[in-house]
Amino acid sequence: MGTIQARYDASAARYRQWWEPVLAATALRVLDGDPPPSIDGSPARVLDLGTGAGQLAIEAVRRWPACLVTGLDVSSGMLGVATSQALDRLGSDDRPRLEFVAGDATKVPFADATFDLVVSSFVLQLVADRQTVLAEVVRVLRPGGRFGSVTWLATDETERFAPDEAFEEALDDIGYDGESEAEEARSGDFLSAEEAATELDRAGFTDVRTDATELVHPYERATYVDFLEQYAEREVFEDLGWRLRRRLRDATRARLARLPDEAFTWRAPVVEAHGRRG
């Protein structure tokens, strides 16, 4: 099991609680527009590649009552959360149109020309070989089928989110000097919208368009320390004994209290990329 897969297996429920809401509004934009058309009277088929907690897949079922939707993810923990979410959020008439499948984005376990639409949100930066994944998307799309994705653009290292800087300063306050855990190789964030377009062109997509936009999320001051402790910086907190953990919480809260309300609105560059199989 890879490091990234293990991390998502271990944090699936926390991802759903703390991180999915941050991504939600931006991720769901890949579903904007017309539903995929049916072919020869058969229901259109949609693949959510790297479905995570199932947000895109579930919303696709809700928006497009004529479609069959598949959510694919390598993490069994995430698929368990996605299945639970589908049971909670979909009625009995809609649930049969959704399936969740375990599988690797570099070896999608479906035949050629299976899907009319493939969507993906905040996944392409995680895979080790993005060109292989994009080639797989082309393979499983039917001729004329569409692909829509959103993922991160590389950020300016000098532009820091003030609440995160406050946390780093709180770590200094308590004298923490822990080492970061090494991660396995990943493709990483796109450097520009032009780079994203080039990669889709290289994979064989036509009608490629990419747009550099922004994810905007207003964090709540009152729960930001909980977000850090339960999700974003969980490994750091778990590395501490209870006394140091309490000191870190108190030091972080004290520094966050000095920030203006507007400092808690997080803005991060993203790129939306769309293409069609010729």
Which CATH number goes with the domain that contains 116? 3.40.50.150
Regarding whether 176 and 187 lie in a shared domain, the answer is no
Regarding whether 233 and 195 lie in a shared domain, the answer is no
3-state SS class at 239: coil
- Judge contact between 270 and 150, C-beta under 8 A: yes
Residues 136 and 130: their CA atoms lie apart, in Å, by 10
Instruction: Give the residue among 42, 95, 90 at the shortest CA–CA distance from 66.
Output: 42
Regarding whether 92 and 173 lie in a shared domain, the answer is no
The pLDDT, as a whole number, for residue 181 is 64
Regarding whether 14 and 120 lie in a shared domain, the answer is yes
3-state secondary structure 132-184: HHHHHHHHHEEEEEEEEEEEEECCCCCCCCHHHHHHHHHHHHHCCCCCCCCCC
Regarding whether 113 and 136 lie in a shared domain, the answer is yes
Per-residue model confidence as pLDDT tens for the chain (278 residues): 577 888 899 999 999 999 999 999 999 999 998 889 877 778 999 999 999 999 999 999 999 999 999 999 999 999 999 999 999 999 999 999 999 999 999 999 999 999 999 999 999 999 999 999 999 999 999 999 999 999 999 987 768 999 999 999 999 999 998 776 666 788 999 999 999 999 999 999 999 999 999 999 999 999 999 999 999 999 999 999 999 999 999 999 999 999 999 999 999 999 999 999 99
**Which residue range(s) make up the domain with 237?**
162-181+220-263
Regarding whether 240 and 104 lie in a shared domain, the answer is no
Regarding whether 200 and 172 lie in a shared domain, the answer is no
The pLDDT, as a whole number, for residue 41 is 79
> Residue 19 is encoded by which pair of tokens?
């991180």
User: Could you give the residue ranges of the DSSP H alpha helices within the chain?
Assistant: 3-14, 20-27, 55-63, 76-89, 130-140, 162-174, 193-203, 224-227, 234-238, 242-256
Regarding whether 225 and 147 lie in a shared domain, the answer is no
Regarding whether 176 and 107 lie in a shared domain, the answer is no
> Residue 253 is encoded by which pair of tokens?
């809260």
Regarding whether 101 and 19 lie in a shared domain, the answer is yes
Q: Count of domains in the chain?
A: 2
Residues 254 and 156: their CA atoms lie apart, in Å, by 27
Regarding whether 240 and 109 lie in a shared domain, the answer is no
Q: pTM for this structure?
A: 0.94
Distance set, CA 195 to CA 127, 170, 210, 219 (Å): 16, 37, 9, 30
Radius of gyration of the chain (CA): 20
Regarding whether 204 and 70 lie in a shared domain, the answer is yes
